[in-house]
Structure 1
Amino acid sequence: MFRPQHPARLLNPPTIVEHNQMRFVITDAPSDINLPLYIAEFQHNGVTDVVRVCEPTYDTMPLQRVGIKVHEYPSVVDGSTPSHTITQQWLDLVYKRFGHDRTIRPRGAIACHCVAGLGRAPLLVAIALIEGGMSAEDSIQFIRSKRRGALNTKQIKYIQHYKPRKSRSKAKCVIL
């Protein structure tokens, strides 16, 4: 009887992205077979949340059993950019985990994956980096220096035109 062997290590190692009290782990999509390796990697890196930006490729129960919460954003199409709603959900998670002012001690890390870990997941991390004070160009360069081949042309243009949510002041106009 043939029994598939579990791989001894991940073929595509996760990428750690840290900036301004935020910590992200970008990966490709786990499968049910290699999920134990991802869980070990996530636990080693203090991951508290996993954001899945693709269709399901694994059962989330093993992650939930070890206390890692899974957030689903499968409506982001491969090679594209997130909707306003998905961006809001992502940033709500980022602010919940790391705080708005970045002066608090980080509470863990957020893992983010799409199918290959080269488009949708790095794009969400770039948005968080911009919200954390990094320029659009620097966020692109920073992520690409850590994850070769990340971000396509459409996603880069989106990042270049992205306006940080926190800069959108709710101040009221006052006429004197």
Structure 2
Amino acid sequence: MNRPAPVELCHKNMRFLITHNPTDSTLNSFIEVLKRYGVTTVVRVCDSTYDKAPLEKDGITVVDWPFDDGAPPPNKLVDDWLTLLKKKFQEDPGCCVAVHCVAGLGRAPVLVALALIESGMKYEDAIQLIRQKRRGAINSKQLTYLEKYRSKQRLRFKDPHTHKNKCCIM
């Protein structure tokens, strides 16, 4: 099966690698791609098709959060995803988090879109950015979910160069 190449998306201090799932036979080349992008965490949102032990041996954490193909993610998974990203990007701004589903066209891009929306991007702009790099990403059911999604601004990071307490003297 011919699958799209992994794509990197960067926004503010966040970096994502959207990819399809590897198999045990393609795992070594998958690990090399992850290393090239500096990935230390992989979020697997589909059923397992490979042994995660070789990744963990190379210092790459694999998080399993599968959900149904073609569907929006459950609320608990969204909360867990955003909590993971907030921690990763605060501890290591500019690090790269990889996320994959089977083809890298539905579930994985939806999670990245949610992160972009939570960082302050409009949902239309998030979709456009993802689709510029990943043609055919996100189906109509997922689009409707993203359109209705309301950000709680959980990934708005404070600029470390600004004052913590802004005040105005009158």
Please indicate the TM-score interval, normalised by the length of the shorter structure. 0.7 to 0.9
CA contact (8 A) 2:109 2:138 kept: yes
Partner of 2:28: 36
2:25 counterpart SS class? coil
How far residue 14 of structure 1 moved from its aligned partner, in angstroms, is 0.4
Q: What number of residue pairs does the alignment pair up?
A: 153
CA contact (8 A) 2:43 2:62 kept: yes
Q: Mapping of 1:1-176 within 5 angstroms?
A: 12-74=4-66, 76-99=67-90, 106-166=93-153
Could you tell me which runs of 5 or more consecutive residues in structure 2 were left unpaired when the two chains were aligned.
Answer: 155-170
CA RMSD of aligned residues (A): 1.5
Structure 2 CA distance for aligned equivalents of residues 28 and 105 of structure 1: 25
CA contact (8 A) 2:3 2:103 kept: no
Moved over 6 A (4+): none
Q: 1:82 to 1:164 in 2, by over 3 A?
A: same
Structure 2 CA distance for aligned equivalents of residues 48 and 155 of structure 1: 27
TM-score, normalisation: structure 1: 0.83
Structure 2 CA distance for aligned equivalents of residues 38 and 105 of structure 1: 23
Matching residue's letter, 1:27: T
1:60-111 CA-to-partner distances (Å, cap 9, x unmatched) read 001100111011011x100001111000010011101112xxxx76252100
How far residue 165 of structure 1 moved from its aligned partner, in angstroms, is 2.3
How far residue 132 of structure 1 moved from its aligned partner, in angstroms, is 1.2
1:151 counterpart SS class? coil
Structure 2 CA distance for aligned equivalents of residues 11 and 160 of structure 1: 27
Structure 2 CA distance for aligned equivalents of residues 115 and 11 of structure 1: 10
CA contact (8 A) 2:119 2:153 kept: no
1:40 counterpart SS class? helix
CA contact (8 A) 1:80 1:154 kept: yes
